[in-house]
A = this chain, B = another copy of it.
């Protein structure tokens, strides 16, 4: 597991992120609208403020944050069927949108948000691996922008956002632990994890899968280390983008 002779197709270091580009106010109508590009993975994250809450929160005074995820049919190398045409969302889509929602709620004080929902739509325009992580990282910015607007309008007086949240993938490729897998690495990967962490370096979600090749405790420790580094960089980029 020494890195001496190791090289990635992309030329990146084993612990290097792909170039990240964040564009706020990408569309005109959403209260928060962020196009996040991590390498060739491009996701549009639109945050909508809805003045209603789901039934289970009725009359509690608490708000909600939720997400939906979709992929344009030709976001990928070969065209996939359109989920709206098939008449249902795949298990994978539902898994991802549930993950995004949970990750965001972990850093929001739902009492302070009040009886409203922030609904984040994450739509993948182009996919080269890591779309769920890019969605979470971009969605947090869209969420923060939407909340900022509620504060600017005087609808909220206190900011319900408690911390940043961002996500990155790590994995073991040809026996080497690497950060931020692209599609080719992901496909060849023995084991991979998606890690979601806060600005305070607390874990929010850990999803590790080793269908191809199980991994030992020591490898897990290395992967967690890498993820921590990557997420710390992403959170810096989130904050930079919001001060521009």
Please give the residue numbers on chain A whose beta carbons come within 8 Å of chain B beta carbons, in ascending order. Answer: 27-30, 33, 40, 42, 44, 46, 48, 50, 68, 70, 72-79, 82-85, 87-89, 91-95, 97-98, 102, 105-106, 119, 121, 123, 125-126, 193, 198, 200-211, 214-217, 220, 224, 228
Minimum CB–CB distance for A143 against chain B, Å: 13
User: Roughly how many angstroms separate A76 CA and B48 CA in the complex, as a whole number?
Assistant: 11
What chain B residues lie within 8 Å of A228 (beta carbons)?
Answer: 217
Listed by A's residue number, 22 A-B pairs whose Cβ atoms lie within 8 Å are A27-B125, A27-B126, A29-B74, A29-B75, A29-B76, A30-B74, A33-B74, A50-B79, A68-B73, A70-B82, A79-B119, A84-B89, A84-B93, A87-B87, A102-B209, A202-B210, A202-B215, A203-B217, A203-B220, A206-B206, A206-B220, A217-B228
Nearest B residue to A92 by beta-carbon distance? Answer: B98
User: Roughly how many angstroms separate A102 CA and B207 CA in the complex, as a whole number?
Assistant: 13
Most buried by B among A84, A206, A210: A84
CB contact between A198 and one of B40, B44, B77, B214 (< 8 Å): that residue: B214
CB contact between A214 and one of B121, B204, B220 (< 8 Å): that residue: B204
User: Roughly how many angstroms separate A210 CA and B205 CA in the complex, as a whole number?
Assistant: 6
Given A27-B125, A203-B216, A204-B214, A85 and B73 contact (CB-CB distance below 8 Å): no
Minimum CB–CB distance for A92 against chain B, Å: 8
CB contact between A106 and one of B48, B76, B210 (< 8 Å): that residue: B210
User: Roughly how many angstroms separate A28 CA and B76 CA in the complex, as a whole number?
Assistant: 9
The answer to whether A203 touches B210 (Cβ under 8 A) is yes
User: Roughly how many angstroms separate A205 CA and B92 CA in the complex, as a whole number?
Assistant: 16
Nearest B residue to A216 by beta-carbon distance? Answer: B202
What chain B residues lie within 8 Å of A217 (beta carbons)?
Answer: 201, 203, 224, 228
The answer to whether A82 touches B27 (Cβ under 8 A) is no
